[in-house]
Amino acid sequence: MTQPPHDEPVASSPEELREQVEQTRTELGETVQALAAKTDVKARARQKGAEVKERAAVKGGQLKEQAALKAGELKAKAADVAHRARGRLPAAVGDEGAPGARLVRDDRKALWAVAAGAAVVVVWVVCRRTEG
């Protein structure tokens, strides 16, 4: 007859032996499930894909916030520059009826287009820096 391993207690009754057998079965079942999960390549790939998707969503949200902040900063800076430029214009150009004032008003759309393009460039640079 074989001897039990040194680290396991010897059962003193049939009921105790049944409990030990049931515990061993439970542990063995859990071990088999863990091994099966490790060999399930499709499930692991799905899990990894979900993790990557979640990280990408978080990163995208962060970049969106950064872009919004930079756009706000650029908008404020452009407004400040426009305000300072208006203060430096000669009085004749600053008058509402003057042809120069009309030209400046008409070119506001172009100024905003340039500011928007600058914002896009800033977002692109921020994205490139965070990728590396």
User: Taking a C-beta distance cutoff of 8 angstroms, is the pair 73, 66 a contact?
Assistant: no
How many Cα atoms are found within 13 Å in the side-chain-facing hemisphere of 110? 5
Note the pLDDT of residue 9: 65
Q: What's the mean per-residue pLDDT of the chain?
A: 81
pTM of the model: 0.38
Mean pLDDT by 10 residues, the chain (132 residues): 60 87 94 87 89 93 90 89 78 56 68 82 82 64
